[in-house]
Amino acid sequence: MQLADLDMNKVYTYADYYKWKFEERVELIKGYIFKMSPAPNRLHQELVGKLHIKLGIHLHKNSCKVYVAPFDVRLPRKSKEDKDIITVLQPDLCVICDPSKLDTRGCIGAPDIVVEVLSPSNNKKELKNKHEAYEEAGVKEYWVVLPYEKTMLIYTLVDDKFSTSGLLASGDIVTSAVLPGFSLDLAELFESYETEQ
Protein backbone atom coordinates (compact mmCIF):
# COMPACT_ATOMS: atom_id res chain seq x y z
CA MET A 1 0.00 0.00 0.00
CA GLN A 2 1.11 3.55 -0.76
CA LEU A 3 -0.02 6.86 0.68
CA ALA A 4 -1.66 7.70 -2.66
CA ASP A 5 -3.92 4.64 -2.20
CA LEU A 6 -5.56 6.12 0.90
CA ASP A 7 -8.70 8.25 0.94
CA MET A 8 -7.51 11.56 2.43
CA ASN A 9 -11.11 12.42 3.44
CA LYS A 10 -11.59 9.26 5.50
CA VAL A 11 -11.13 9.06 9.28
CA TYR A 12 -8.37 6.62 10.29
CA THR A 13 -7.23 5.22 13.63
CA TYR A 14 -3.90 4.28 15.16
CA ALA A 15 -4.70 0.65 14.26
CA ASP A 16 -4.59 1.73 10.58
CA TYR A 17 -1.59 4.01 11.06
CA TYR A 18 0.47 1.30 12.74
CA LYS A 19 0.09 -0.98 9.68
CA TRP A 20 1.23 1.62 7.14
CA LYS A 21 4.76 1.09 5.85
CA PHE A 22 5.11 3.76 3.16
CA GLU A 23 8.12 6.05 2.98
CA GLU A 24 6.26 9.30 3.60
CA ARG A 25 5.86 10.32 7.25
CA VAL A 26 2.34 11.23 8.30
CA GLU A 27 0.48 12.26 11.42
CA LEU A 28 -3.16 11.71 12.31
CA ILE A 29 -5.07 14.64 13.75
CA LYS A 30 -8.60 13.73 14.79
CA GLY A 31 -8.46 10.83 12.33
CA TYR A 32 -7.34 12.84 9.29
CA ILE A 33 -4.00 12.29 7.57
CA PHE A 34 -1.52 15.15 7.51
CA LYS A 35 1.61 14.61 5.44
CA MET A 36 4.73 15.67 7.25
CA SER A 37 7.15 17.83 5.33
CA PRO A 38 10.21 16.24 3.74
CA ALA A 39 13.27 15.89 5.95
CA PRO A 40 13.64 19.14 7.89
CA ASN A 41 16.38 21.51 6.81
CA ARG A 42 19.74 21.62 8.54
CA LEU A 43 18.94 24.72 10.60
CA HIS A 44 15.70 23.21 11.91
CA GLN A 45 17.65 20.15 13.01
CA GLU A 46 20.32 22.32 14.63
CA LEU A 47 17.69 24.03 16.81
CA VAL A 48 16.03 20.73 17.70
CA GLY A 49 19.45 19.34 18.63
CA LYS A 50 20.28 22.31 20.87
CA LEU A 51 16.92 22.05 22.64
CA HIS A 52 17.30 18.28 23.04
CA ILE A 53 20.74 18.69 24.64
CA LYS A 54 19.59 21.52 26.93
CA LEU A 55 16.53 19.55 28.11
CA GLY A 56 18.50 16.31 28.37
CA ILE A 57 21.16 17.88 30.59
CA HIS A 58 18.50 19.41 32.83
CA LEU A 59 16.63 16.09 33.09
CA HIS A 60 19.73 13.99 33.83
CA LYS A 61 18.89 11.80 36.86
CA ASN A 62 15.28 13.01 36.74
CA SER A 63 12.15 10.89 36.29
CA CYS A 64 11.17 13.03 33.29
CA LYS A 65 12.57 11.95 29.91
CA VAL A 66 12.97 13.88 26.64
CA TYR A 67 12.33 12.24 23.26
CA VAL A 68 13.11 13.52 19.76
CA ALA A 69 11.15 12.80 16.53
CA PRO A 70 10.36 10.44 15.03
CA PHE A 71 8.52 9.37 18.17
CA ASP A 72 4.80 8.57 18.14
CA VAL A 73 2.62 10.43 20.63
CA ARG A 74 -0.83 8.83 20.74
CA LEU A 75 -3.54 11.01 22.25
CA PRO A 76 -6.46 8.78 23.29
CA ARG A 77 -9.94 10.18 23.79
CA LYS A 78 -12.30 7.29 24.57
CA SER A 79 -9.88 4.47 25.29
CA LYS A 80 -6.26 3.46 24.82
CA GLU A 81 -7.23 0.78 22.29
CA ASP A 82 -5.49 1.25 18.92
CA LYS A 83 -8.86 1.17 17.14
CA ASP A 84 -10.11 4.13 19.21
CA ILE A 85 -7.09 6.44 18.90
CA ILE A 86 -7.50 8.98 16.11
CA THR A 87 -4.67 11.40 16.90
CA VAL A 88 -1.03 10.36 16.50
CA LEU A 89 1.57 13.13 16.34
CA GLN A 90 5.35 13.28 16.06
CA PRO A 91 6.43 16.49 17.79
CA ASP A 92 10.03 17.57 17.32
CA LEU A 93 10.59 17.04 21.05
CA CYS A 94 8.48 15.95 23.98
CA VAL A 95 9.06 15.61 27.70
CA ILE A 96 7.24 12.86 29.57
CA CYS A 97 7.35 12.72 33.36
CA ASP A 98 4.92 9.81 33.90
CA PRO A 99 6.68 6.53 32.97
CA SER A 100 3.33 4.73 32.77
CA LYS A 101 2.65 6.67 29.54
CA LEU A 102 5.64 5.08 27.80
CA ASP A 103 5.63 1.81 25.90
CA THR A 104 7.69 0.25 23.14
CA ARG A 105 5.79 2.23 20.47
CA GLY A 106 6.21 5.67 22.07
CA CYS A 107 3.91 7.65 24.33
CA ILE A 108 0.24 7.05 24.99
CA GLY A 109 -1.31 10.07 26.65
CA ALA A 110 -0.37 13.71 26.90
CA PRO A 111 3.31 14.55 27.27
CA ASP A 112 4.09 17.18 29.89
CA ILE A 113 5.85 19.37 27.32
CA VAL A 114 5.64 19.33 23.52
CA VAL A 115 8.11 21.33 21.41
CA GLU A 116 7.53 22.12 17.73
CA VAL A 117 10.18 23.95 15.71
CA LEU A 118 8.30 25.37 12.74
CA SER A 119 9.38 24.95 9.14
CA PRO A 120 8.26 27.10 6.20
CA SER A 121 6.13 24.13 5.07
CA ASN A 122 3.98 24.10 8.24
CA ASN A 123 0.51 25.29 7.29
CA LYS A 124 -1.99 27.22 9.40
CA LYS A 125 -4.57 24.39 9.40
CA GLU A 126 -1.99 21.91 10.69
CA LEU A 127 -0.84 24.34 13.41
CA LYS A 128 -4.41 25.13 14.51
CA ASN A 129 -5.32 21.44 14.65
CA LYS A 130 -2.19 20.51 16.62
CA HIS A 131 -2.78 23.36 19.06
CA GLU A 132 -6.35 22.09 19.65
CA ALA A 133 -5.23 18.45 19.93
CA TYR A 134 -2.53 19.23 22.49
CA GLU A 135 -4.88 21.44 24.48
CA GLU A 136 -7.70 18.86 24.49
CA ALA A 137 -5.27 16.09 25.50
CA GLY A 138 -3.98 18.07 28.48
CA VAL A 139 -0.40 18.84 27.43
CA LYS A 140 0.88 21.10 30.23
CA GLU A 141 3.20 23.20 28.05
CA TYR A 142 3.36 23.57 24.27
CA TRP A 143 6.46 25.37 23.00
CA VAL A 144 6.39 26.75 19.45
CA VAL A 145 9.75 27.90 18.09
CA LEU A 146 9.68 30.23 15.07
CA PRO A 147 13.25 29.99 13.80
CA TYR A 148 13.06 32.50 10.96
CA GLU A 149 11.74 35.15 13.34
CA LYS A 150 14.07 33.99 16.15
CA THR A 151 11.11 33.93 18.51
CA MET A 152 9.20 31.47 20.66
CA LEU A 153 5.73 31.10 22.16
CA ILE A 154 4.91 29.00 25.21
CA TYR A 155 1.33 27.90 25.75
CA THR A 156 0.63 26.82 29.33
CA LEU A 157 -2.46 24.82 30.25
CA VAL A 158 -4.59 26.77 32.73
CA ASP A 159 -8.08 25.46 33.59
CA ASP A 160 -8.00 23.14 30.53
CA LYS A 161 -7.20 26.03 28.13
CA PHE A 162 -3.89 27.21 26.73
CA SER A 163 -2.69 30.60 27.91
CA THR A 164 0.17 32.15 25.94
CA SER A 165 3.39 33.59 27.28
CA GLY A 166 3.37 36.30 24.68
CA LEU A 167 6.13 36.47 22.11
CA LEU A 168 9.58 35.64 23.50
CA ALA A 169 12.62 36.84 21.54
CA SER A 170 16.39 36.91 21.64
CA GLY A 171 17.42 38.34 25.00
CA ASP A 172 14.55 36.64 26.84
CA ILE A 173 15.12 33.76 29.24
CA VAL A 174 12.62 30.92 28.96
CA THR A 175 11.57 29.09 32.11
CA SER A 176 9.11 26.25 32.58
CA ALA A 177 6.43 25.67 35.20
CA VAL A 178 6.79 21.94 34.46
CA LEU A 179 10.58 21.85 34.94
CA PRO A 180 11.61 23.84 38.04
CA GLY A 181 15.10 25.28 37.67
CA PHE A 182 15.16 25.00 33.87
CA SER A 183 16.17 28.10 31.93
CA LEU A 184 16.91 28.70 28.26
CA ASP A 185 18.60 31.81 26.92
CA LEU A 186 17.02 32.51 23.54
CA ALA A 187 20.03 34.58 22.42
CA GLU A 188 22.14 31.45 22.95
CA LEU A 189 19.57 29.21 21.22
CA PHE A 190 19.45 31.39 18.11
CA GLU A 191 23.18 32.21 18.15
CA SER A 192 24.71 31.63 14.70
CA TYR A 193 21.27 30.87 13.28
CA GLU A 194 21.09 32.19 9.74
CA THR A 195 18.05 32.36 7.52
CA GLU A 196 18.17 29.55 4.98
CA GLN A 197 18.39 30.98 1.49
The per-residue pLDDT for range 135-177, each reduced to its tens digit, is: 999 999 999 999 989 999 999 999 999 999 889 998 999 999 9
pLDDT category at 197 given cuts 50, 70, 90 is very low
**For the chain, domain boundaries:** 40-189
- CATH architecture label of 40-189: Alpha-Beta Complex (3.90)
DSSP string, 60-106: TTSS-EEEESS--EE--SS-SSGGG---EE--SEEEE--GGGEETTE
State the pTM of this model: 0.92
Mean per-residue pLDDT for 116-125? 80
CB-based contact 111:100 (threshold 8 Å)? no
**pLDDT exceeding 70 applies to what percent of the chain?**
96
